[in-house]
Amino acid sequence: MKCVQALEGISDYIDGNLQGGERTALESHLKACPQCRELLADFQKIVEEAQDLESLEPPDSAWSAIRRDLETRRHAAWKKSLLRKRLFGFPLIKPVAVFGAALLLLIVAGSLTIGPLFRHAGPEELTVNGGLALTKLAEAETHYKLAITALNDAMSASEKDMDPEILQVFRDNLQLVNFSLEECRQAVSLNPGDIETRYYMLAVYKQKTDLLSNMISYGTESASRKETETTL
């Protein structure tokens, strides 16, 4: 198992959702790779400490501006992307538009992606625990950035084996994620102490790592098919 594959499985491993051969392969890799062991330990520490945090239920008004901006961008991408091919057995009639809708849902329901870091808490509790929460969220952001750097390197090696039209669909989707991520970063810069803002930004970081992982997996499958066709 390579480090890129390990990065894909660590989250499921922590959640207890990695079973069978995949779990065995990851554990074998962790024994031999100090960098991935350190990353796993850091994530486990964040999860454990996050369980002790008092929590905040985001208001309905949060991120309305981002949702509007992303919706505008989604419609623009929808008109430009009418690729009618099939990927993994599903028709890609409007892939960018579908992805945009999924991303909007992800931002609204970010707790499904990252986990319930926050429950309802009053102002007094947030004053006491807000500093710890911000620290943990900042640490998680750092780890996502490191993971994205590694995935970007692997993606560069995979692009040459991908169908150009499918690759463009992935790039369009990645552009939407990067657009949303930039909106989140600007919001954080305007209000660095806002826990909700950082919470939603992590949801978008997670979406970016998932998309890059899917792109790499597709590139690997494409390379394998080409190798098989060459040997026949």
Q: In the structure, what pLDDT confidence band is assigned to residue 136 with cuts at 50, 70 and 90?
A: confident
User: 85: helix, coil or strand?
Assistant: coil
Answer yes or no: do 146 and 37 share one domain: no
Q: Which of 14, 34, 52 is the last residue of a domain?
A: 52
Determine contact, residues 119/57, Cβ cutoff 8 Å.
Answer: yes
Answer yes or no: do 173 and 212 share one domain: yes
| Interval 142-155: pLDDT, tens | 888 888 888 888 78
Answer yes or no: do 123 and 14 share one domain: no
Determine contact, residues 228/161, Cβ cutoff 8 Å.
Answer: no
Q: Which of 52, 75, 92 is the last residue of a domain?
A: 52
Answer yes or no: do 110 and 37 share one domain: no
CB-based contacts of 20: which residues, under 8 Å, 6+ apart? none
Answer yes or no: do 42 and 148 share one domain: no
Q: Where are the alpha helices (DSSP H) in the chain?
A: 3-15, 20-32, 34-50, 64-80, 95-108, 111-114, 123-158, 164-190, 195-231
Answer yes or no: do 177 and 163 share one domain: yes
Answer yes or no: do 104 and 129 share one domain: yes
State the Cα–Cα distance between residues 43 and 66, nearest whole angstrom: 28
Number of domains composing the chain: 2
> pLDDT at position 3, please?
72
Res 208 pLDDT > 60: yes
Answer yes or no: do 43 and 88 share one domain: no
> pLDDT at position 73, please?
55
| Interval 155-207: pLDDT, tens | 887 787 788 888 888 888 888 888 888 888 888 888 887 777 787 888 888 88
Q: In the structure, what pLDDT confidence band is assigned to residue 216 with cuts at 50, 70 and 90?
A: confident
Q: In the structure, what pLDDT confidence band is assigned to residue 37 with cuts at 50, 70 and 90?
A: confident
Q: Which of 37, 52, 67 is the last residue of a domain?
A: 52
The region, left, alpha or beta by phi > 0 then psi within -120 to 50, assigned to residue 53 is beta
Answer yes or no: do 124 and 180 share one domain: yes
Answer yes or no: do 70 and 176 share one domain: yes
| pTM reported for the whole predicted model | 0.47
State the Cα–Cα distance between residues 151 and 165, nearest whole angstrom: 21
Determine contact, residues 208/175, Cβ cutoff 8 Å.
Answer: no
Domain range enclosing 87? 54-231
Answer yes or no: do 159 and 65 share one domain: yes
Give the pLDDT mean for 48-65: 54
Determine contact, residues 203/107, Cβ cutoff 8 Å.
Answer: yes
Answer yes or no: do 77 and 38 share one domain: no
For the four alpha carbons of 148, 150, 153 and 154, in that order, the dihedral sign comes to negative
Determine contact, residues 184/201, Cβ cutoff 8 Å.
Answer: yes
Q: Provide the 10 A C-beta neighbour count for residue 177.
A: 22
